[in-house]
Structure 1
């Protein structure tokens, strides 16, 4: 399915552009038009939330009548899964159901937004957009990349304003004020917060090795990710030619690339001075112990290696032989390149050497290797590290060029570009830095695209679809928003509230439209569906299948086997097999790409999680056989059902009627209907051992997988 979509996208790119779209400099994208705060329609609703006034205006225009409100149990489960990605506990259900105060629901929302699990839930949303991966073949910054993920989670939990959230990931500084004047009249840079170095993992993540060196691709990756994530524009489409639809030229792409050209990676050791000294001493000890064994090994194999190497050299052309036999210090640069090219041919692997040893030498060799393995290596003394980025003054002095081929090694000297970006002001002051100037423009309250794109994403994560359907593409070919006035009102409100994301979350989930039921009365659904078959006007809450991570979490939550610790390295499901201890939240499950193995666990793949090679603004939601097979037959489910059953047995005191009631409340946050209770008890036949099958049934209910 995904390969078909990619093929269709490539086909569309070959179609001729719409008249006047790409080449017409006067063409203006609506997302660039200033945000003018509209007045909320009056007299349309009794709700005091302005969101409902705009939505009600849509009902009136479409001749629609909304369904009634969801019941309290459904609403509690919906908002809890939405804001923290976990089901409500029995205690939380009881507290809400017995709280008759007017602000009972708002208290729930405030509690959820203040939970550290909120950052885990929405951090995962943002990291999809920002192309987070733990593993990406040849990614330089892979060691320690989880510190960037954890920074995002902390920033969301701290309600870091969105403009600062973006600036920190682009520049390492939250504030636009980056210099200060001393009392003696000396201006200096303000030191950034130490923890904000982890925000720069966003840029460092794009650097990869190719042919043993930095490929210099990450400025290109930065343009593509920054433009879609924060600008809502597909600037990357102008990498090889002028954008076919939007007024973005190829030179705009490479001008934006020039912003990031001076950046280089820098490795930061995450240790105290005492830890660094201790690690050095431990390394010395390991080296000493290894040297005592490696010396005899080398003396043993040296004659064999020399013979094998000479045999291989003898097969090379005479001129190459002459270069290889020349000592490295006296080789010319050209000769050294020849020698380097033949290195893979002449390299003698351990297996080749061992095969040529005499029987007695082979026994000695293996004994020595066994001793060496017991000593270990330097990896046991290494310190944790993180890769960040910084400006290289030498690279900052170099010119930037258009790369029609996309290859950094093939610049076009006749096509020089100055640093800039699409729709930049006529004159840009780069005094404080290239990326700094861009980030100040991007995050300005006056920039209409910045707030529009952000609030559209927040809306999408609550309703499954944004007010603008293509959240990373607000270009000419995208559809108009379903509720343009509401989108602009939210954008203006976002700016007025100093870009506080939690305030927008609260505003959305306390609206009446968010509280609507998802079920539609069959007696009236035909007319309503005809008027708005896609529910674009939100006359009922959209029924949505949960993403992979909340499903994983809900399974282990029910089994009382979920570790909700926030942060730390990602875990691999395969490595977890056979180990004891609770499961971590799905947001911390490893993801990425490698040619020689599947990095993304089968569970995540089955439930539509991408591998992080490209930004994922909107996950697909399929219903497939592998999903059903996971919930029916997987080792994970088998283990969790056993623990869920044991929990039901213990907490019910052996009363199977109580166990059935408890099982439904834990799994789907409601008691069973009379029919469901009767069927469950009939299945159990008075035998507590059959509770495992009952737990399995609950995990396989459609209701368990959906937020309704």
Structure 2
């Protein structure tokens, strides 16, 4: 492990305790411990502890805002016991496991406690012993040393070291984007001087006199300073395996290996690299690296947060990254779309133009859109497209690499970069980077959710593009980097003026994620207009239907007595109801509805047999049109376990449907007084919320409730224990009446298998027993087939088809009661007289009337003039509905303006949150960028949230970090570690670059590529060769990542063996000089 002097001095100043703790950690872990404290632990203390244990007040003598006071602890002793959370007073207090419970207002969330436990396990490191810097309003000035820090300096293209004997040393040096002439050519040296080729051996891939790639010149210069030599080249089989895993995450096929091994052409290696870069798997492999950086996940777990609160459309962003990388989208555009894609989605190329301040940079040569559209031929070969294709697509191939559906049916044909007046859905999708957040969805404190969302967007933007831990300045000035709290809230204001939620939900509910339709505003307006016209047409049709239905019902009112009598007559064995109505000049629909109204409607008999349910012999079921409601009979002499429930031996069980009850009915073969007994038991305690039951007596058109009850999940109840059970012992029935036991679903109908027992004792003492009669002997047929003696009186019904209009008799003495009693008597003359009396008072002609048309198919009963007019209105409505386009695709992303209806709705600057608390506000900070990077004289943000201005600044040549950070990430994944070994921290706590000149040269080459660096994959010559494809390419594409990959892979540095020279390994055991290729383990995904 290597420590530089500055790092060691800083740790020494922190104190021996912390130095001892961190010295025991690997470098990355010590950085992680510091970062954990600044980004998670200190904010927790500030939010929950400082008000009682801070500078102004020290309850119980405890102060938690400085390192020394924290380590001192309280009167009872230190808060932390070594590295053991379980023995530490701090952890016991926040877990509320002892007499001291903190915070007293309520326990921390488990995730917050886990942060403190991890911090304690790491030794509770605290960066310094000073009091926190002022949170708001305090003067903040970076020190001269901070201003001179390497990563904050402008990118200057360094001269390629003179060791590059092929003439790649450049005549100029200047800013990253400055122009310049090509380097002078120099005489080639003898082959024996080639430091990359073992003496006496021929190069396995390239043969040359000296490095032809500037990367090799920088690496070789450092090795020569130490008197060291690079490793020999790896063999061809190793090289193709290495490159294929690096670029695709897949092993090469045997055929690909043999083809390369046997290819002796001059550009054999270059062809391999180009083929790999053109593979669609390249985007999948490198998208994973980027998705790790931006904390991507497919889901937040819908089971926990709920479907609407989940990032259900995250996969679109994943696929967008894959496609963007495969098409070699310029990294500047890659940034802009992710930070501000929603803003430029409809503005065309104007949205991508650099800000005026960037174009005015002194000494900066900008490349206009025409130049950007002409990708270099080298890149064109690598990405499998021509310059014309690049100009048409703006650098994005839209064929989805995901097994999931593309964005829309026409998505693949839509260019990703909008021209003026067109719409680019991918720009919306790209803002998914901001929406896939790491914040507490469902937090009861809604205001804190808003601050956490803004912080998450600040954090991901800082880490991903700038390599800075900007969130460390949320509660106080950054402890290590020259970033003030005002810098933080200047950026946070941009994201407070952005929303990824449509609105805040009520307390205790998960936040619903914003789902943005992937259609233009003009298309949204067109659809809204069409929807409004469709709603108007539907309303016109509905109004006309109700008016004409009411008029028709009024014409039938005088016929009430005829329909009542016909409903009663048709309930006896007769021709079908439709034929019965037609033969008497009645409307079939009205007769059908009168039958239902009076209780004569048909039940739906469950008569579809299912033998040997779930493979259990002797267990049979009957169902109707769907799987539930159902009835199951265990005809065996032993209990049978099926799924999560058990059927007792020789038992009958029923299962209601989602909304329909199931009925076990006894059809009385006698007249007289009977008695009922029985039991209802929930057989499946695995889920659901129990069932309800009702015992009914149905006679004629009247259904009367005898008793009722409710069975909890897994429970049971005797009918005699139900409400009204005293009526069960004395029930007067007529032959043909039914006694029904209804089982009804609860709120949750799953796992509602219910064992039912029903025993009927007749006037003469004869008994009918549901279980004995149906399950006592092996069942060979349908229980409704009336072929098994007593079983002939039992039936199972689905209650869906019959409306139980009333549970008991209406008020005595009313015409309806007289009518029902007449119907029950069966006396025709009495029925006709009662029907006339009832009809005289029956005035209902609205939707509750049996004369009201409830089905459009029954409009045939209307007069012709009504049918014609309603048909015309229906056609108008249908024509509008046919014009409706399919629903648009949606994406999780960001939009302008703070969360609607919240305290941050709209566009505005924000105040400093003192110590990170939204309820303690400091001075108002204008939206801006960190001063150490963007300077003190930034133009004010007057338009929009500022995300577009932020994106342009991030992608500008004047930004000292963006290009350095991304080329370092590329290097990291090719060599196992970056030139800077902390890829997301280029600040003072981060590592220093091993090759600062090389890093700057790569960054400058990314922003403003030169023809000099376009090295082809040629071999077998002693001087660098420029392929014909390169000779007429004066303007290679800026910000091309594929071009940088190619540059790295074609270097001799990349092609070294991992078996280094012994003297080099001894002198540089950590391989910080890159004198050999690092050995690397394959990650889980390639495996």
TM range (shorter): 0.5 to 0.7
Are 2:959 and 1:419 equivalent residues in the alignment?
Answer: no
Contact kept? 1:82, 1:462, Cα under 8 Å: yes
| Structural RMSD (CA) | 4.2
Alignment counterpart, residue 216 of structure 2, candidates 37, 49, 52? 52
Asked whether the equivalents of residues 63 and 531 of structure 1 are also in contact (C-alpha less than 8 Å), the reply is no
User: 1:417 offset after TM fit, Å?
Assistant: 2.1
Write out aligned runs for 1:172-571 (5 A). 172=341, 173=344, 177-178=350-351, 192-206=423-437, 209-211=441-443, 215-216=449-450, 217-265=452-500, 266-269=514-517, 363-365=743-745, 369=749, 385-392=890-897, 395-407=905-917, 410-423=918-931, 424-425=934-935, 426-433=937-944, 434-497=946-1009, 498-520=1038-1060, 525=1062, 527-551=1063-1087
Q: Is the 8 A contact 1:141 1:204 kept in 2?
A: no
Number of positions where the alignment pairs a residue of Structure 1 with one of Structure 2: 472
Per the alignment, residue 64 of structure 1 pairs with 228
Residue 34 to residue 372, structure 1, CA distance change in 2 (3 Å): same
TM-score by length of 2: 0.40
Sort the Cα spacing of 1:383 and 1:444 in 2 relative to 1 into closer, same or farther, 3 A.
Answer: closer
C-alpha offsets along residues 511-566 of structure 1, whole Å, 9 cap, x if unaligned? 00100001235xxx2x3233111111111111100111111xxxxxxxxxxxxxxx
Partner of 2:552: none
User: Quick check: 1:141–1:205 contact (8 Å CA) kept in 2?
Assistant: no
| Alpha-carbon displacement from aligned partner over 1:421-461 (angstroms, at most 9, x marks no partner) | 21234232424421111111111022121111111111111
Quick one: distance in 1 between partners of 2:971 and 2:995? Answer: 12
Deviation at 1:416, TM superposition (A): 2.3
CA distance in 1, matches of 2:991, 2:897: 42
CA spacing shift, 1:43–1:211, aligned 2, 3 Å: closer
Rg larger for = 2
Measure, in 2, the Cα distance between the counterparts of 1:224 and 1:368.
Answer: 43
- Is the contact between residue 293 and residue 371 of structure 1 (CA under 8 Å) also seen in structure 2? no
Per-residue CA distance 1:301-331 (angstroms, 9 max, x = gap): xxxxxxxxxxxxxxxxxxxxxxxxxxxxxxx
Seen in structure 2, the aligned counterparts of structure 1 residues 366 and 220 have a Cα distance that, compared at 3 Å, is closer
> Which ranges of structure 1 fall in alignment gaps of 5 or more residues?
181-187, 281-288, 299-349, 375-380, 552-708
Partner of 2:1052, secondary structure, is coil
Q: Distance in 1 between matches of 2:984 and 2:336?
A: 19
* 2:337 counterpart residue number: 168
Structure 2 stretches of 5 or more lacking a match? Answer: 1-24, 38-123, 134-139, 166-209, 354-418, 501-513, 535-625, 629-655, 663-709, 720-739, 754-797, 799-885, 1010-1037
TM-score of the aligned structures, taking structure 1 as reference length: 0.60
Q: 1:492 offset after TM fit, Å?
A: 0.6
Equivalent residues of 1:144, 1:384 under 8 A apart: no
SS in structure 2 at match of 1:539: coil
Partners of 1:79 and 1:129 lie apart in 2 by 22
**Higher strand proportion, which one?**
2
| Counterpart for residue 143 of structure 1 | 312
Q: Secondary structure at the match of 2:892?
A: strand
In structure 1, the partner of 2:830 is none
1:121 correspondence with 2:285: yes
Shift of 1:144: 1.2
CA contact (8 A) 1:51 1:508 kept: yes
Quickly say closer, same or farther: Cα 1:15–1:93, change in 2 above 3 A.
same
What is the aligned counterpart of 1:112 among 276, 281, 284? 276
Name the SS of the counterpart of 1:549 in structure 2. coil
The aligned residue for residue 36 of structure 1 is 156
8 Å CA contact 1:264, 1:390 repeated in 2: yes
Worse overlay, 132-141 or 214-223: 132-141
Q: Give the deviation of 1:57 after TM superposition.
A: 0.2
Cα shift at 1:212:
6.7
Structure 1 pair 458/397, CA: closer, same or farther in 2 (3 Å)? closer
| More divergent stretch after superposition (363-372 vs 76-85) | 363-372
Distance between the aligned counterparts of 2:457 and 2:984, measured in 1?
15
Is this contact kept in 1: 2:659–2:745, CA < 8 A? Answer: no
Check whether the contact 2:299–2:310 (CA below 8 A) recurs between aligned residues.
no
Cα deviation for residue 466 of structure 1 reads: 0.7
